[in-house]
Amino acid sequence: MRSLVFCLTAALAATPLLAQSGANGRAAVPAPVIDSVSIEGVLRAGAVVDSVFVDRLSTYGEVAPGDFGAYLLARLGVEPFPHDLAWRVQADSGVIRIRGRFQDIPEESKALFGNLLMFVDSTTTLEAEVRTAPAGEALARFRLTRVLVNRMAVPDFLLTSILRSVGRQYPALTESGRDLYLQVPSDGRVRILPGRIVFERVTAAGAAAQRAEPGVRAPD
């Protein structure tokens, strides 16, 4: 990734890093927790998304956090990111956390942070939190809710200014730079769970039963 670190053609790895549905529509084995971002991860995540939402061969699939982070970056249209990218992605109930250090931000991206870089050194840690948010029918919405520098939240007025610059650079984002929308089937849902991101197709009854779960976007 050469332009955006927080907010996203190679062969698949020999060992699968994500679980897809079995005959009963549920994952037979959990997806190993992969937190690194890679070009291969884009393909692995895309294969699950296609199987569940596009080709409709499965009703359920899981993607590792790092692979999903790579997939989102690819959807933003960023340039190919390096294999040695030192940022890590973790998933918990309803939230994705992307962590790294300022020294690992590509040079061309540092301008997005403006005067903020005047007050930090190269080893300063940066963490971004992304959560699902309500969206319209057949849409999944991922919203950047918070950025922490050395575990201290960036004031919202400063973060808003930074993110607007990001939004102008990446048209796939909303104007605010906070939101990325993905199109999903009308019966589709994306959930952020500990150690994995789940893609599934559900019935109306199943959606109502899980409406209160963290990270769930029930059909409107």
Write out pLDDT tens, residues 164-180: 888 887 888 898 989 99
Three-class HEC string of the chain: CCCCCCCCCCCCCCCCCCCEECCCCCECCCCCCCCECCHHHHHHHHHHHHHHHHCCCCCEEEECHHHHHHHHHHHHCCCCCCCCCCCEEEEECCEEEEEEEHHHCCHHHHHHHHHHHHHCCCCCEEEEEEEEECCCCCEEEEEEEEEEECCEECCHHHHHHHHHHHHHHCCCECCCCCEEEEECCCCEEEEEECCEEEEEECCHHHHHHCCCCCCCCCCC
Write out pLDDT tens, residues 120-156: 787 888 899 999 998 888 999 999 999 998 899 989 9
Q: How sure is the predictor about 107, in pLDDT bands with cuts at 50, 70 and 90? A: low
Q: If you compute the radius of gyration of the chain from its CA atoms, what whole number of angstroms results?
A: 17
Write out pLDDT tens, residues 21-75: 443 455 445 555 678 888 889 999 999 999 999 999 999 999 999 999 989 888 8
CB-hemisphere CA count at 13 Å for 8?
Answer: 30
Which token pair is 104? 């690992």
The pLDDT value recorded for residue 145 is 94
CA–CA separation, 218 and 213 (whole Å) = 10
Residue from 25, 38, 55 nearest 198 by CA: 25
Amino acid at 106: P
CB-hemisphere CA count at 13 Å for 60?
Answer: 15
Residues 141, 181: contact at Cβ < 8 Å? yes
